[in-house]
A and B are shown apart, each in its own frame.
Chain A
Amino acid sequence: MIILFGMPVVQVLLFGFAITNDIKDARIAILDKSNDYMTREITNKLLSSGYFILGENLDKDDQIDKVFRKGNIREVVIFEKNFAEKIEKEKHAAIQIIADASDPNMANLLFNYTRSILNDYQRQLFKDKQFPMQIQTETRMLYNAELKSVYMFVPGIITILLMLISAMMTSISIAREKELGTMEILLVSPLKPLQIIVGKVIPYVLLSCVNAVIILLLSFFIFGMPIQGSLLLLIAETVLFIIMSLSLGIFISTVSQTQQMAMMLSMFALMLPTILLSGFIFPIENMPVPLQYLSLIMPSRWFIIIIKAIMMKGSDIMFLWRETLILVGLTLFFIAMSVKKFKVRLA
Chain B
Amino acid sequence: MRTILLIVQKEFRQLKRNRQMLPIIFIMPMVQLLVLSFAATFEIKNTNLYIVDNDHSQLSREMTAKFRGSPFFTITGYSEDYQSALQALELRKASQLLIIPSNFERDLHKQDKAKVQVVTDAINGSAAALMSAYAVSIIHDFNIKLLVETFPLVNLLDPIDIRYSFWYNPKLDYTTFMVPGILVLLVTLIGLFLSGMNIVREKEIGTIEQINVTPIHKYEFIAGKLIPFWIIALFELAFGLTLAKFVFNIPMVGSIGLIFGVASLYLIAIMGLGLFISTLADTQQQSMFLSWFFMVIFILMSGLFTPIDSMPAWAKAINIINPIHYFIPVMRNVMLKGSGFADISKQFWSLVCYGSISISLAVWRYRKTS
Q: Which residues of A pack against B, CB within 8 Å?
A: 3-4, 7, 10-11, 14-15, 17-27, 68-71, 74, 87, 91-109, 111-112, 115, 118-119, 121-122, 125-126, 131-149, 151-152, 160, 164, 168, 172-173, 176, 179-180, 256-261, 263-265, 267-269, 271-273, 275-277, 281-283, 285-288, 291, 294-295, 305, 308-309, 312-313, 315, 319
Contact = CB atoms under 8 A, between A and B. Distances in A.
* Interface band, chain B: 35 or more
B234 interface: no
Interface stretch (B120-128, B237-245, B257-265): B120-128
Contacts of B312: 17-18
Contacts of A134: 112-114, 143
Contact of A133 (B136, B143, B299, B310): B143
A104 B173 contact: yes
A282 B40 contact: yes
B95 A285 contact: yes
Interface string B15-30: 0001011001100110
Contacts of B296: 11, 160, 164, 271
Given A102-B169, A267-B193, A276-B39, A137 B339 contact: no
Interface of B: 18, 20-21, 24-25, 28-29, 32, 35-36, 38-48, 89-92, 95, 108-109, 112-130, 132-133, 135-136, 139-140, 142-143, 146-147, 150-151, 154, 156-170, 172-174, 176-177, 182, 185, 189, 193, 197, 201, 204, 283-286, 288-290, 292-293, 295-297, 299-301, 305-307, 309-312, 315, 318, 329, 332-333, 336-340, 343-344
A107 B166 contact: yes
B161 A93 contact: yes
A14 B312 CA distance: 10
Given A21-B125, A142-B119, 17 more contacts: A3-B289, A19-B301, A20-B310, A70-B339, A71-B344, A95-B160, A95-B162, A104-B166, A133-B113, A143-B123, A151-B123, A164-B296, A258-B18, A260-B284, A272-B36, A291-B38, A313-B90
Given A20-B310, A144-B128, A101 B161 contact: no
Nearest to B339: A69
A283 B42 contact: yes
A118 B309 contact: no
A263 B197 contact: yes
A172 B176 CA distance: 36
